[in-house]
Amino acid sequence: MAAITLTGVGVAIFVLLRVVPGDPIAMMISPGASPADIAALRAHYGLDAGIGQQFVVWARDLLRGDFGVSISLHRSVLELLAERLPATLELAGAAFVVALLLGVSVSVVAVLASDSKVAPLIDTVNGLFLAVPDFIWALLLVLTFGVFAPVLPLSGRIDPSLDTHFTTPFYLLESLLTLRVALFSDICKHMIMPTLALALPLAAVLTRVLKESLREAMVQDYVLLARLKGKSRLRLVLQEALRNAIAPALALTGVQFTFLIGGTVIVERIFSYPGIGNLAIDAVINRDLPLIQGLTLAFGALFILVNIAVDLLVVAANPRLRHG
C-alpha cells in the first residue's frame, strides 16, 4: 500500500516536472546561455533521453540511494536532506506534541465544564481558532513578539553567537540529552513561535473532534453505570470516556498532521528556520530540479509514514480492531 503510494508520488512528481508546459532546462538556465550550453546541460542531467528512459535512470539511481546533486547549492541532495530534515522533524514533532497536549486538555476541560458558562466560551474561541491557518498565526506571532513585545528571536534555529558543537543534526534532542541547558533554552526560544503557529490550528481541530466524541461517550450507559458507582467526573472522563473517544480523534489527527507537515513549508519560510520546507521554496525559486525531486519525495515519504503510524495508533487504541 505505502509502496504503491510512494511510487505514485514519485511518478507524479516526475511527470509533473517534465510534461507540463515549460522545459525543465529552461527553468535552470540563466537568460543568454548559448544553445551549446543548453545541450550540454541537457546531456549532463540525462534530459536528452526519452522520458521513459529518464524515469528508469532516475528510479534506478534512487534505489541505489543516489538522489543526484543540487544545481544551485552544488551539494548532494541526500546530504542536504540529512542536514535539513531533522530540523523539520523536530519542529513538526514539537508542534504535534504541543497540539496533542493542548487539544486533549482543552477538550477535557470543556467536557468537565459542560454545564457551566465556560463551555460555550471554549466552543466559540475554538471556533475562531479553527478558522485561522498557520500562515496567519505565524505572522500574528511575528507582529506580537517582533514589535509589541520583543522577547523572542524572530528567525533561525539557534543563536549564531552560541557555542554550537553538535554531533547529530537533532539539536533540540541532543542539547536536552547532553543537559546543555543554555543551549536547550535558546533552541526552545527559537522554536516557540513556529511551533505555536503549526500547533494551534491542529489543536483546534483536535479539540473539536475530541470534545464531540467525549461528549457523546459521556452520555453512554457505561459512563452512567460508572457514575452510579461513585466515580468523580474527572475520573469518568479520563478512565471511561477518553479511551473510547480518542480513536476517532486520532484517526483525524493523522490527516491533519500531514497538513501540519505541509504547513512547515511556509512557517519555516517566515521564521527563516533551516528545515526542508524553507529549502524547498528556495529550490523551486532557483529551479533546482534534482533538489525539488528529492525534497518532494521526502515529504511524500513523511506523509506515508505518518499515516502508517496513525493507523497503528488507532488500532492500538481500539480493542475491537486489535482482536480483528
Partner 1 sequence: MSAPILVIDGLSAVSQRDGTPILRRVSLTLHRGETRGLVGESGAGKSTIGKAILHILPSAVRVTAGQILFEDRDLLTMPSAPLRRLIGERIALIPQDPMTALNPGRRIEAQLTDGLRLIRGASARTARARALSLLEEVHIREPERVLRAYPHELSGGMRQRVLIAAAFALEPALIIADEPTTALDVTVQKQILRLLRNMQNAHGTAVLFVTHDLGVVAQVCDSVTLLFGGKVIEEGPVAQVLEAPRHAYARALLDACPRSDHPELGLRPIPAELIARLRREVATP
Partner 2 sequence: MTDDLLRADELKIVFDTPRGLFKRKGAGVQALRGVSVRVGRGETIGIVGESGSGKTTLGRALLRLADVSSGRIVFDGRDITGLGERDMRPLRRRMQLIFQDPMASLNPRHTIRRIVTEPMLFHRVAADPADAQRRARAIFERFSLPLACLARFPHELSGGQRQRVGIARAALLAPDFVLADEIVSGLDVSTQAQALNLLKELSRDLGLAMAFISHDLSVVRAVCDRVYVLRQGLVVEEGRCDAVFESPKHPYTRALLDAIPSPRIDPGWLQRDQGD
Partner 3 sequence: MVEGALTQRTDVSATRRRWDWIGVCVADPKVAVGGGFILCLCLVALAAPLIAPHDPLEQDIMLGLTPPPGFAGAEPGHWLGTDDLGRDVLSRVLYGSRVALTVAFAASALAAVIGSTLGLAAGWRRGWVDAAISRLVEIWMAFPPVLLSILLVAVVGPGVGSVIAAIAIIDWTRFCRVVRAETMNQASADYVTAARAVGFAPGRILMREIFPNVAPVLIALISLEMGIAVIVEAILSFVGLSVSSDTPTWGGMIAEGRQALHEGWWILAAPLTLLLLTVLAFNLLGEGLRRALDPVMRR
Q: Which residues bind partner 3 (CB under 8 A)?
A: 4-6, 8-9, 12-13, 16-17, 20-22, 27, 127-128, 130-133, 135-136, 139-140, 142-143, 146-147, 154, 255, 258-259, 261-266, 269-270, 277, 280-281, 284-285, 287, 292, 295-296, 299-300, 303-304
**318 binds partner 1 per the rule CB under 8 A:** yes
Contact partners, residue 100, CB within 8 Å, separation at least 6:
203, 206, 253
DSSP character string of 57-101: HHHHHHHTT---B-TTT-SBHHHHHHHHHHHHHHHHHHHHHHHHH
Decide if residue 225 touches partner 1 (CB under 8 A): yes
Question: Are 119 and 292 in contact, with CB atoms under 8 Å apart?
Answer: no
C-alpha cell at 291: 533538489
Partners of 76 in beta bridges: 69
Say if residues 86 and 190 touch (Cβ distance below 8 Å): no
Name the CA radius of gyration of the chain, rounded.
24
Per the listing, cell 524515469 goes with 55
CB proximity list for 17: less than 8 A, separation 6 or greater? 24, 289, 292, 293
Q: Which is nearer to partner 3, 187 or 266 (CB)?
A: 266
Q: How far is CA 84 from the centre of its chain?
A: 13
Q: Of residues 42, 215, 231, 287, which one binds partner 1 by CB under 8 A?
A: 231
Distance, CA of 216 to CA of 231 (rounded, Å): 18
The minimum distance between CB 315 and partner 2, in angstroms, equals: 7
Listed ranges 1-9, 117-125, 168-176, 314-322: which one lies at the site for partner 1 (CB under 8 A) = 314-322
- Residue 277 has φ and ψ, to the nearest 5°, of -65, -50
Burial 284-298 (b: 16+ CB within 10 A, else e): eebbbbbbbbbbbbb
- CA angle 309/313/314 to nearest 5° reads 120
DSSP letter, residue 230:
T
From the list partner 3, partner 2, partner 1, none, pick the one residue 311 interacts with, judged by a Cβ distance below 5 to 8 Å according to partner type.
partner 2
The partner in contact with residue 146, picked from partner 2, partner 3, partner 1, none with C-beta cut-offs of 5 to 8 angstroms by kind, is partner 3
- Measured from the CB atom, is 244 or 296 closer to partner 1? 244
Calpha distance 267→199 (Å, rounded): 11
Q: Per-residue contact track with partner 1, 265 to 304, x per CB under 8 A?
A: ----------------------------------------
CB of 205 to partner 1, least distance (A): 23
Between residues 12 and 225, which has the closer beta carbon with respect to partner 1?
225
| Selected binder of partner 1 within 18, 42, 215, 227 (CB under 8 A) | 227
Residue 318: name its binding partner from partner 3, partner 1, partner 2, none (Cβ under 5 to 8 Å by kind).
Answer: partner 1
Longest dimension (CA), the chain: 85
CB of 247 to partner 1, least distance (A): 8
Q: Between 2 and 16, whose beta carbon lies closer to partner 2? A: 2
Give residues in contact with partner 2 (CB under 8 A).
Answer: 1, 311, 315, 324
6 vs 73 by CB, closer to partner 3: 6
Q: Based on the shown chain and the rule CB under 8 A, indicate whether residue 222 belongs to the binding site for partner 1.
A: yes
Cell of 106: 482543552
107 binds partner 1 (CB under 8 A): no
Q: Does 117 bind partner 1 (CB under 8 A)?
A: no
CB of 250 to partner 1, least distance (A): 13
State the residues that interact with partner 1 by CB under 8 A: 115, 220-231, 240, 243-244, 317-320, 323
